[in-house]
Structure 1
């Protein structure tokens, strides 16, 4: 039973959330009534003073009502808070027509007090009122391709308003227009083209613009006709238009448009697709859309060239916040595009617009009928501690949804009921959220708080049950300062409560291991399931949970002591399941070759040894290098272990032989000689018998004379070769210079007897005294 409980707790923790059960109370650390009811929706608390026996934990008071009653707790003494609701505003639904502000939902505000984990269901009613007002804002694309459409819309006002008033007694219409951002590559930014973006043949053309609010919502059809008639076509460069920019302004400029407490319709008439978030980067616009109204004094969108286009998600959220239902009146060429957009926007319709918008009135009426007859009830931002589910009384509405409840084909005056289930997963303070039908401003405000505290009939006087040192709270004693214990029987004295309780915790764990009560720093142990008491300083021991063999505790051959079997003489094993004998383990004078323990007449090998008697080790290798130093000192009396050989090499038994049958190992001693030996493993670990070859193989010494003589001859030969090479290089260089001199001499042009450097005298002087005689 304990193992099953432990397994379930582990599974619950591994999933990261507590799974409530309707018929079980999974209590963990419970000491008070509040702890109990927080443990799960099925948990209840018995506040009867005499319900628990002396020494029993207060947690016994916490269980399901069924279990508590079976244990003798009277129903009047059982505390189990339930979920309740209170209708704070519950005005009746409107009937008939003619009411300016009809009531279509019921109730209008409720307060839920929820028990955590316990789902609570309440009814939400909706009735489509007759004569519920309609506000319709007509948002028109005024790019040049919509020239014919504008002509028809100029005559639309009276016809459209009359049609809407035939459906409801109160209707208003307004008008706005759009093209696109006045930046490249969306619009030609040439100064003349900005003033007149239409073809030259077009006489009436207004300058390029993003969005312009023309007429606020009004019941004056003639005013609508006059204001729209004053509008002219405009133009831009690329095919997609700034539709989403225009929708965002029409939705957020509530006061300027004049949206009222009504069914709000936004008609978008266009023959082109739309730009969306990110496209503004093509014009160097990096600032995202601010989702606020930005109309200047001329009712123009002032941030058109500063903010990027809004995303579809932003548009969908803002439409839902303002309860505005869009109707996309688009031409056949782009209907598929807007159909995909409609899938992302709840309560929206797509209708096919004729080439010249001549069918726009019937189109709007058809779309309105579809939107108003499909009722979708949903909620706004839900606190994360709450979950919600919807069902409805409509045909096919029995399907449970966590997002919304739906009813289709609801006629005017029909009343439908939605069953809304709210559940709190944990204890929370008061939190609120709204529920209501999409497209309507009316909302049900839901206030939620949780019941996580017990409401008991407590006495504030000191009670005899608490030794006059405390008063009773939900059946347990709340002790005065300086006293503690189940019945305030323990006086703290100089020690504080934390110090006394710490004495009852083993290794800073649970008090008394959860098997007793800490009274004045001493554990008073509870009874076990078998009727005996737990024992030990921290109630950590019992004699009922030892290992079993053949469904017998300790195999019937021993006694259970603190969770371990103490076997009778002649038996062994964790459950005393084996007779003591080692017949199958004996290997000579040892058991299991000294490499394991004999348990239940079987060898339990250690390290990597295997086999019935631990005789094999497939991963072990002979430690030739490790025992090499011992071999050197044992057999030859040399080496680094020479002085303490007998102490360091006790794990070896050695014998020198003339010849080895097999040479398992070969190692070098410190003199560079090879030692050959064979090894055989003895019982135990790291013990060997070694046979050593008497003769070592040592390398011969070097011939110094030959080495020196050869070296000198080599040096002399190399020197002679270097001299010859140098001499040859010098001779070749001199010979080359001589040949060059001879060539230059042959090319000379002067007489062989004259020195070309000699110049004759320019003046000759004769000596008058010279006669020429010798």
Structure 2
């Protein structure tokens, strides 16, 4: 029973895909298949007339594509055969569980699953072999032991580098299925893997002929219309032979608006956008109203170098926001020594603390104009200069941001100035008074401290 429970836990924990290195999606992809093959994080929007069809999952959501219209395959592992053993634990028979898997791979996204090997008690743990003679290059299978002993738990990882090239005219099966056997050396029993590649969108396998979305003049596939002969347009709404198709008014976004927004030519009632000198820049949209280069700049880079420009609007990468993608959403720089963001006295915006008045400082830890400023910094001054006080054992950790200058007596301290607090505090260590100033600095604070103290009976230390 314990073995079965462990197997179940491993199965639940490991049947999850791991992400490959982040890549840039082909936003100009003309089909769903081309989109999902451009990167493991790329998804396709099947909604009618979206601003953008190919982008990351978050990019499509930010562009307004409904979640229900986003196609983003991540592969799949299915257990095909999983018979249980009825033999006692000390049996002399080898047992493998599960016995058969089906693995669908999206290139760049690995699939991992567990395998249990029950060995005869007198048998040493054997080497595992994989027969991959019929599997093409780029499909890799890795075996790693999770737990050794009896039974043996093995983690199997399968990953494909990329989909086959369309130019590859070999007779070899390009997307599977391929069959692989994992066999303990010296035994005839093996685990069977059926591996296939997800290089074609599910929606590409079905066409809705004479679709209403295509004005009845074309087939709908993956949210796009494939128009029948003599019809054209995004929704196949124009007859090429009709005199109406020659009317340039069809190429205006509104009455008297420039034809094709002044960025293209009206052909058969539809805009053909002009090409830019820079091939990386392009116009798009029904009326050529969009561009991928007319977006806000930050740090001399379009969209701050942290996003993509689509129709004049920045689609930011994960962990970046704002209209020019210049605002980082990381919060580590806002973490104060009390393990609270901005000391609990402000908000972390674009990686910097916006403090609530009257608090200041990189993490809102200072309050130079508060009445309790002297009391607030007393313990750090005492431990930094005199090595006493409640914070003496953790002075470096909690008071490292305070810069301290030591003078001999209070007469050597600077003259009073605006924005500088002058403090006289008593130490519980020796009941002596000590003197210091405090002023706020960008790094945390600056104190000038008199080494000499005023102690009882008029004695100085």
TM range (shorter): 0.3 to 0.5
Higher helix share: 1
Q: TM-score, normalised by structure 1?
A: 0.27
Q: TM-score, normalised by structure 2?
A: 0.44
Q: Which has the higher contact order (CA 8 A, sep 6+)?
A: 1
